[in-house]
Amino acid sequence: MYDFNFHSASSVDDAASKLAAAKDGTVMAGGQTLIPVLKQRLASPSDVVSLAGAGLSGITNNGDSVTIGATTTHAAVAASGDVPAALRSVAEGIGDAQVRNRGTIGGSIANNDPAADYPAALLGLGATVTTNQRDIAADDFFIGLFETALNDGEIVKSVTFPNATKAAYAKFPNPASRYAMVGVFVAQAADGVRVAVTGATDCAHRGPRLEAALSANWSASALDGITIPPENLNSDIHGSAEYRANLVIVMAKRAVEAAG
């Protein structure tokens, strides 16, 4: 780890001003991604601003939606009665107990790991990300490999998930890392059928062909015969593009079955 200045922010505004004052600052939420990166000397921020005391943690049931504060941990989401079951299962399936007790929803989506689980849930439920500057629709938020719509210094405050009629997430974990080799979130969401895929490519994305098939017929068998072209899919020692292409369909079917 290289030396850096550490700050504790008391609010989002405080965090924003501390970031603005820093030469090359970064915020920290649960630190589950940031700290390993620092330890391996892969990043050298001048300042680290912790959001732990910024008052961003908490879950609010709005009746037709649920709002989850940016620093709410995966464990808190998994345990919350206010969170719909499909979303709880996403949080429950992240990492291990230690990671779930520290890692946060804001950190996960800001980091946008191509194999992370939450991005699929945000896309699959048509969530809205609220930052200290604006509201961003999930569809516009996840842009590419570890890349989001967030501006420099922009801080996620919360994520709001509209209620869905039916929803489920099916994850095929990478045997080693247990991140998603492929994860598929399906929903009969507020604005129609949504299917979101993570792990398969460089960034979580929606699956328009799967959505069309399921809009016509909400059943696993509706996906029979659809094949995913492997061209742009990830390929590594754990799974080839062809294998991931197969998993997308299988996981989509399983998610539909689980959603009922």
Partner 1 sequence: MVENGIGASLKRKEDNRFLTGKGNYTDDINRRGQTHVYIVRSPHAHATINSVNTAAAAAAPGVVAVYGGQDLIDDAVGGLVCGASVTGKGGEVNKAPPRNVLTIDKARFVGDPIIAVIAETLAQAKDAAELVEIDYTELPSTVSTANSDADGAPQLHEECPNNVALDWELGDKAAVDAAFAAAHKTAKVELINNRMVTNAMEPRAAVGEYNSGTGDLTLYVTSQNPHVHRLVMSAFMNIMPEHKFRVVAPDVGGGFGSKIFTYNEEAICAWAAKKLDRPVKWTSDRSEGFMSDAHGRDHVSTAEMAMDADGKFLGMRVDSKSNMGAYLQLFSVSIPTLFHGFLLAGQYTTPAIYLEMRCVMTNTAPVDAARGAGRPEATYLLERLVDVSAREMGLDPAEIRRRNFIKADQMPYQTPVVQCYDSGDYDASLDKALGMADYDGFSARQAEAKGRGKLRGIGLSSYIEACGVAPSAAVGSLGVGVGLWESAQVRFNPTGGVTVFTGTHSHGQGHETAFAQLVTERLGVPVENVEVVHGDTDKGQFGMGTYGSRSLPVGGVAIANACDKIIAKGKKIAAHTLEASEDDIEFGDGNFTVAGTDKVMNIAEVAFTAYVPHNYPEGVEPGLDEIAFFDPLNFSFPAGAHVCEVEIDPDTGTLEIVNYTAIDDFGVLVNPMIVEGQVHGGLAHGIGQALLEGCVYDEDSGQLISGSFMDYCMPRADNLPSFNVDYSPTIPLHNPLGVKGCGEAGAIAAPPAVINAIVNALDIKHLDMPATPEKLWRAAQAAG
Ligand X SMILES: Cc1cc2nc3c(=O)[nH]c(=O)nc-3n(C[C@H](O)[C@H](O)[C@H](O)COP(=O)(O)OP(=O)(O)OC[C@H]3O[C@@H](n4cnc5c(N)ncnc54)[C@H](O)[C@@H]3O)c2cc1C
Interface residues toward ligand X, by CB under 6 A: 26-34, 51, 70, 94-95, 99, 102-104, 106-108, 110-111, 113, 116-118, 150, 155-156, 178-179
Furthest C-alpha separation in the chain: 56
**Least distance from ligand X to the Cβ atom of residue 191, Å:** 24
For 82, phi then psi, to 5°, come to: -85, -10
CB of 177 to partner 1, least distance (A): 4
In this structure, the strands spanning 65-69 and 156-162 are antiparallel
Rounded to the nearest whole angstrom, what is the least distance from the CB of residue 66 to partner 1 in the complex?
Answer: 30
Q: Which does 250 bind (CB under 5 to 8 A by kind): partner 1, ligand X, none?
A: partner 1
Token code pair at residue 161: 């998930």
Write the secondary structure of 51-68 as one string of H (helix), E (strand) and C (coil).
Answer: CCCCCCCCEEECCCEEEE
Q: Which CB atom, from 66 or from 193, has the smaller least distance to ligand X?
A: 66
Under 8 Å between Cβ of 203 and 244: no
Output 3 or 64, the one with its CB closest to partner 1. Answer: 3
Which residue lies nearer to partner 1 by CB, 18 or 253? Answer: 253
Site residues (vs partner 1, CB under 8 A): 1, 40-41, 172, 175-177, 236-240, 243, 246-247, 250
Q: Tell me how far, at minimum, the Cβ of 41 lies from partner 1, in Å.
A: 7
Between residues 17 and 174, which has the closer beta carbon with respect to partner 1? 174
Yes or no: say if 119 and 142 are a contact pair by the CB < 8 Å rule: yes
H or E, element range at 93: none
> Quick one: what does residue 246 bind among partner 1, ligand X, none, with the CB cut-off 5 to 8 Å set by partner type?
partner 1
The site partner of 172 among partner 1, ligand X, none (C-beta below 5 to 8 Å per kind) is partner 1
Handedness of CA 188, 182, 255, 242 (dihedral sign): positive
Q: How far is CA 146 from the centre of its chain?
A: 11
Q: Using CA atoms, how far apart are residues 117 and 182, in angstroms rounded to an integer? A: 9
Pick between residue 99 and residue 258 the one whose CB is nearest to ligand X.
Answer: 99
Of 66 and 251, the one with the shorter C-beta distance to partner 1 is 251
**Cβ of residue 28: shortest distance to ligand X, in angstroms?**
4
DSSP calls for 115-172: T-SHHHHHHHHT-EEEESS-EEEHHHHEEETTEESPPTT--EEEEEEE--SEEEEEEE
Decide which of partner 1, ligand X, none touches 94; Cβ closer than 5 to 8 Å per partner kind.
Answer: ligand X
In the complex, the smallest distance separating the C-beta of residue 184 from ligand X, rounded to whole angstroms, is 14
Give Cβ neighbours of residue 15 (< 8 Å, ≥ 6 apart): 9, 27, 49, 51, 54, 155
Q: Considering the complex, what minimum distance in angstroms separates the CB of residue 26 from ligand X?
A: 4
Question: Is the CB of 155 or the CB of 182 nearer to ligand X?
Answer: 155
